[in-house]
Structure 1
Amino acid sequence: MIMRNHPAERERVMAEQAPGGFDVTQPNVARMYDYYLGGKNHFPADRAAAERVIELSRGHVREAVRENRAFLGRAVRFLARERGVRAFLDLGAGLPTQGNVHEIALDVSPDVRVTYVDNDPVVAAHARALLEGDPRVRFAQADLRRPEEVVAAAEANGLALDRPVALLLVSCLHFVRDEEDPEGLMAAYRELLPSGSHVVISHVSSDPLPDEMAAMSGVYSRANAPFEARPAAQIARFFDGYDLVEPGVVELHRWRPEPDALPLSGPVLPVLGGVARRA
């Protein structure tokens, strides 16, 4: 008898259940991220690529992704509790995991609405299966590089844009190449959002570890999306036209940390984040 919880059998079932199937031989950035977090939605190619990134980062990538999730949680709670935001648009949402945006926001207020957006069919398959049933939480398959299409898809899924929205771009802009004009994308989103909206961004910085970041970019070049760590000055420009919330654009663990937050295990955290408001 085949054991359903056997890893090989679980991977076969995952591949068969995705709409139209998907390529499990090419590393997938969403599944690699899931591996860093200790999840189960990944395949051998994803694990091999992720382990190479872990090696290049001397193990600190796992701490970075944990800090990224913690930053996301603090930012969502801040916006829902202190700024009264009730509509969240999470771009490049990735595979569902623990501490998702809707779980955090709905814990603050039951009238929150959350729309997740991702163009990855792997993410879409998992998200639609797991989020079905709660009208307050929707998923739209769209590409964050097309702001007008993203906003139209969010509205079609019931996210009202007649009130302030929290636009979340957490750990996704470093998968947008320079030639795709990420600063222009942010300007376009700014014009599409109503006054009083907020933007949340986290992004890998190349400043502390330039050689390691270049090597990691090489690993991701063989995955389904490229990876571009950027200097802090360029990351800060993504917030142009917004009013930054204190403490500004900082290392993730320095953005409004919890009183009982543990210290970093390494000397630096090469990921910056910030929250800002559209006037």
Structure 2
Amino acid sequence: MINGENPAERERVVADLDQLPGGSDFNRPNVARMYDYYLGGKNHFPADRAAADKVIELSKGHVREAVLENRAFLARAVRHLARERGIRRFLDLGAGLPTQGNVHEIALETAPDALVAYVDNDRVVASHGRALLAGDPRVRFLEADLRRPADIVALVEREAFPLDRPVGVLMVACLHFVPDEEDPAGIVARYRDLLPPGSHIVISHVSSDPVPGAMAAAGGVYNHANAPFEARRREEIARFFEGLDMVEPGLVPLNEWRPDPDAPPLRGAFLPVLGGVGVCS
């Protein structure tokens, strides 16, 4: 059972999921629940924990530092967009399970008039997200596939907010679950072309450069999950930002993107996750 904060609510969510077409396969590792486990959350099952523990072993424990740095990067990027760039509409693609430090919490704390739409194509994630986020008209959780930009833009305009002003689009730790044959760079480019000028695209992505062997082994673990995993070289990740104006300091390890003054040093020698923010012209 999903271990949420409200026992009655989580039981209702799981019961609802069992009524979905085809039921719910909780015996197969799920990348959103594995991520929640890395973060120390409570929304996971034995299959998720077993797969995540293999990745933790392969990474010598550094995957947990990487996901924490990813959440910290997400928070800094959202605050920067809300405070410095005047962004009031946020679209979080491949959002995963709601956890601490969510986009809407950060955005609304900075700008109470912000609107946030989460998007995920996992029906388990979407059902759980809708249940946890119900009640705030400024927040929506939509079930859709980030690989279909035109469909998502239409859905957001219909269900969440009109795209008549710049939007902050977050593709944080999701593109490494889109294989090369599905053209992730082309997907980003289509969002770039569909978004209003002045929109910002935030991307973080696992890099294979420092430890290619370990990354390949981690990919083997994820082959048994609900989505494949593909770490990429820096030059491949840089392609996602083509046609965008990069916000300083550009594409860098996450801990180097506008770090907080009191940020603790890395426990490991390096962080194999790159991130950056680009602006649509």
The aligned counterpart of 1:93 is: 95
Deviation larger for 12-21 or 189-198: 12-21
The aligned counterpart of 1:16 is: 15
Of the candidates 108, 124, 127, which is equivalent to residue 125 of structure 1? Answer: 127
Please give the residue correspondences for 1:36-185 in structure 2 after superposition, counting only pairs within 5 Å. Answer: 36-185=38-187
Q: 1:10 to 1:107 in 2, by over 3 A?
A: closer
**What SS does the corresponding residue of 2:241 show, helix, strand or coil?**
coil
Residue type matched to 1:192 in 2? L
Residue type matched to 1:235 in 2? I
CA contact (8 A) 2:93 2:120 kept: yes
Unaligned runs of 5+ in 1: none
CA contact (8 A) 1:15 1:24 kept: no
Residue type matched to 2:238 in 1? A
| C-alpha RMSD of matched pairs (Å) | 1.7
CA distance in 2, matches of 1:14, 1:110: 28
Mapped pair 1:193 → 2:156 = no
- Residues 8-60 of structure 1: CA distance to partner in whole angstroms, max 9, x if unpaired? x9998764342524101100000000000011111110000000000000000
CA contact (8 A) 1:139 1:157 kept: no
Residue type matched to 1:93 in 2? A
CA distance in 2, matches of 1:42, 1:270: 25
CA distance in 1, matches of 2:104, 2:86: 15
**What SS does the corresponding residue of 1:105 show, helix, strand or coil?**
helix
Identity of aligned residues (%): 68
CA distance in 2, matches of 1:22, 1:65: 26
- Residues 249-269 of structure 1: CA distance to partner in whole angstroms, max 9, x if unpaired? 000000000000000000010
Unaligned runs of 5+ in 2: none
Note the C-alpha offset of 1:186.
0.9
**What SS does the corresponding residue of 2:68 show, helix, strand or coil?**
helix
The aligned counterpart of 1:258 is: 260
- Residues 153-189 of structure 1: CA distance to partner in whole angstroms, max 9, x if unpaired? 1111132211000110000000000000011101110
Note the C-alpha offset of 1:194.
0.4
CA distance in 2, matches of 1:228, 1:11: 32
